[in-house]
Structure 1
Amino acid sequence: MAAEVLAAGGAAVTVYEAMPSAGRKFLMAGRGGLNLTHSEPLPQFLARYGEAALRLQGAIDAFPPGALREWCEALGEPTFVGTSGRVFPRAFKASPLLRAWLRRLDAGGVAFAFRHRWTGWDDKGRLLFQAPYGPSSIDAAATVLALGGASWPRLGSDGGWTRMLAQKGVTISSLRPANCGFTVAWSEVFRTRFEGEPLKGIALVFGGHTVRGEAVITRTGIEGGAVYALSAELRESIMATGEAILHVALRPDLDRGDLVKRLSVPRGKQSVSNFLRKAAQLSPVAVGLLQEAAINEGLSLSSLPPGRLAELISAVPIKLAGVAPIARAISSAGGISLDELDADFMIRKLPGVFAAGEMLDWEAPTGGYLLQASFATGAAAGRGVLKWLAI
């Protein structure tokens, strides 16, 4: 995005890319449908960035969700708003959009140098790269760093840049998993039977926040959209205290009194599992989760009175023991402190060097907020370079 803004402004631009092709993480983001942005009103949209909202507001105001949709349509990929308010290209994938974008960049004179991994600067301030035919150096009038965070490192961004910028005195907040899963010490029986099974139509509760959606049981813990929405708070709790107790409402749409009434029907000769499946419409994995929680608390589901059983169904406790590795996270928190940047996204301690995207210290939930801020800060950095070069 920075390259597009720069080329349109008359600059000669080369994109140095560590991987053999462009946009690999962009393509990964499109595996589930390429959620580009969100249609909610801008004040609510900006609030999703938490403490970073004020620092990102200028960039997003200048390139808001509506502008991103227009940009996408100009590339021949019209968008639509899903039932959740999320915005997707009609093709529902990233590859057609990326191909059209690369064609337009090429037509605009943007050059690409693939398999060039940036390794820092030499003593004359030139950019250093490890290239296919050995080290090379480039003397650039200005530089935009868009090096990503540290999630999915096999796609190119491994966070190695943090060391190089820290050596220049730039304040870096450690990179941490965001929109990530968490580890749980499941019993072997539960893990073996329910690994990969989804918990649908649930509500997750933590720290006064409630999120509706789905989660997935993994071999080592739990992940999924509803978990990701709470991941920042859960991560910080685990970092501070070593654990977090997440509560799961298995039937959030069912009135408590109605649930107690259903559970008060005589069970007869039915097993507990069959009874819960019929009376409360719980899936096998939901029943398994209940049994797991009951065992951990020294309880027996079959001996619980209807009121206590309803209470447990409405708030199943799961003890999260750790955060899943950053390599498997959707995104990462941390990076260059936003205080290190001026209003044009130039790093104050490195005149002529700008930064954009996930390498900056902000985080947001899934839902289109990640790509929107990456696009917007890239465009802002491009405008900043044009201003710096007085083009």
Structure 2
Amino acid sequence: MTQSDRQAEPAIHVVGAGPAGLTAAERLAQAGLKVVVHEQRPSPARKLLMAGRGGLNLTHSEPMERFLGRYGPAAETARAWIADFGPDDLIAWVEGLGQPTFVGSSGRVFPRAMKASPLLRAWLARLEGLGVEIRTRSRWIGWSGADLVFETPDGERRERPDAVVLALGGASWPRLGSDGDWKPWLEAEGVTVAPFRPANVGFDVDWSVAFRARFAGRPLKPVSVRLKDRTVPGEVMLTRYGLEGGAIYALSAALREAIEADGQVDIHLDLKPGLTVEQLTERLARPRFKASLATHLRKTVKLDPSAVALLRETGSLPADPLSLAQRIKAASVRLTGFQGLDRAISTAGGVALEAVDARSMLIARPGVFVAGEMLDWEAPTGGYLLQASFASGVAAARGLLDWLGSKG
């Protein structure tokens, strides 16, 4: 290929250097396109690195229909993305970067390093080898006609690429770069953007001062959380404001909607999911002698002090073994609110799925493609968030290449 041929190649700009944006950049560069990535923060993929602090749950190994059900109303959109880049593809891609993976006992998939930094270093090296240019401290501030306008340390800069991928994230953890400031710029173009709402977030409980002071920061595990006819096993963390953790996040969309409708919602915690009511009753019926109730609960059913305190916090403890066993299996906790976007792991809301075509291109702005959390979908933690973010980047790149090809 001659230098003039290279200069004639379409120039693609990707705005946002998170998983979706970098995935799109990689696919486009592998197709031979000149790719520039803009990142407003001083370094790329800061939210990915934050996710790595919890082990970097990449995806999940559960059956596909159950997997897709985690995306709620956006399940069919997720189906299309994941059909092209599913869990096996993501695992192969990670291992292709020299990062072995493993499947945990819960079915979740992690890199063996249990952090994001080795993966990100290998990924950035690959992108550099593909000729991808990453411009940090380059903040997109909207359009001026056909030009993209960026705010940089050297002043305002304008670009007119042949096509664009927007992957700016939602509005959670704004200090990491996903601040949602792009919303009015797209709305000015006629793009429908659903309001941002916190997802995978903690919920408020009116704890007593004494309970909050002593038990905030303590985990409850293993537990199951029940909301009406849905039960989710996992871990719950007691916090100063209420409850958070994987089992809560899995229900966060339904919990948020219930609180928005009614101002509160009751959940039930099974504090001993491995034992039946009958088994608990039999053990609790053993003689206490002079032991305190807390000691009796610890010795007979291995209930830790945090769980005992929660039972007391949510009502007086019954004296008879059967009633006490029933309370342990269904401790009622009332949630009265939820934390804001600045404390949410992810967001609901964003660019309406109806505002993009089957190629992930904005209907109102041809040549502009959208990927990642900018779009209006949500999923619980457990690998579903990252899987869809990567897969949506693949989908946007595929759509862009198709669009360029259709232009001749």
Q: Same-fold call, TM > 0.5? A: yes
Find 2:65's aligned residue among 21, 43, 60: 43
Structure 1: which 4+ aligned runs deviate by more than 4 Å? none
How far apart are 1:93 and its partner, in Å?
Answer: 1.4
Deviating more after overlay: 256-265 vs 112-121: 256-265
How far apart are 1:145 and its partner, in Å?
Answer: 0.4
Find 1:117's aligned residue among 133, 139, 143: 139
Secondary structure in structure 2 of the residue aligned to 1:354: strand
Find 1:69's aligned residue among 73, 86, 91: 91
Find 1:139's aligned residue among 146, 154, 160: 160
Secondary structure in structure 1 of the residue aligned to 2:314: helix
**Gapped runs of 5+ residues in structure 2?**
1-22
1:388 paired residue number: 403
How far apart are 1:307 and its partner, in Å?
Answer: 2.2
Is 1:15 paired with 2:37? yes
Aligned ranges 1:268-347 → 2 under 5 Å: 268-294=289-315, 300-301=316-317, 304-347=319-362
**Gapped runs of 5+ residues in structure 1?**
295-299
CA contact (8 A) 1:203 1:210 kept: yes
1:258 paired residue number: 279
Partners of 2:275 and 2:66 lie apart in 1 by 29
Q: CA RMSD in A?
A: 1.4
Structure 1 letter corresponding to 2:300: A
Partners of 1:214 and 1:2 lie apart in 2 by 34
1:164 paired residue number: 185
TM-score (norm 1): 0.95
Secondary structure in structure 2 of the residue aligned to 1:196: coil
How far apart are 1:6 and its partner, in Å?
Answer: 0.9
Find 1:373's aligned residue among 366, 380, 388: 388
Structure 2 letter corresponding to 1:203: S
Aligned ranges 1:147-296 → 2 under 5 Å: 147-294=168-315
Structure 1 residues 258 and 59 mapped into 2: Cα distance closer, same or farther (>3 Å)? closer
Secondary structure in structure 2 of the residue aligned to 1:68: helix
Is 1:52 paired with 2:67? no
Residues 84-116 of structure 1, C-alpha deviation per residue, up to 9 Å, x if partnerless?
Answer: 211112222111111111111111111111101
Structure 2 letter corresponding to 1:313: I
Find 1:27's aligned residue among 24, 49, 54: 49
Partners of 1:217 and 1:276 lie apart in 2 by 20
CA contact (8 A) 1:207 1:233 kept: no
Identity of aligned residues (%): 56
TM-score (norm 2): 0.91
Q: Number of aligned residue pairs: give it.
A: 384
2:19 paired residue number: none
Residues 40-70 of structure 1, C-alpha deviation per residue, up to 9 Å, x if partnerless?
Answer: 2322222221221112222211111111111
Structure 2 letter corresponding to 1:241: D
How far apart are 1:352 and its partner, in Å?
Answer: 0.8
Residues 241-263 of structure 1, C-alpha deviation per residue, up to 9 Å, x if partnerless?
Answer: 11111111111221212222222
2:375 paired residue number: 360
Residues 321-374 of structure 1, C-alpha deviation per residue, up to 9 Å, x if partnerless?
Answer: 101122111111111111111111001011111100011111111111111111
Aligned ranges 1:98-109 → 2 under 5 Å: 98-109=120-131
Partners of 1:358 and 1:381 lie apart in 2 by 13
Residues 284-306 of structure 1, C-alpha deviation per residue, up to 9 Å, x if partnerless?
Answer: 01110011011xxxxx32x5322
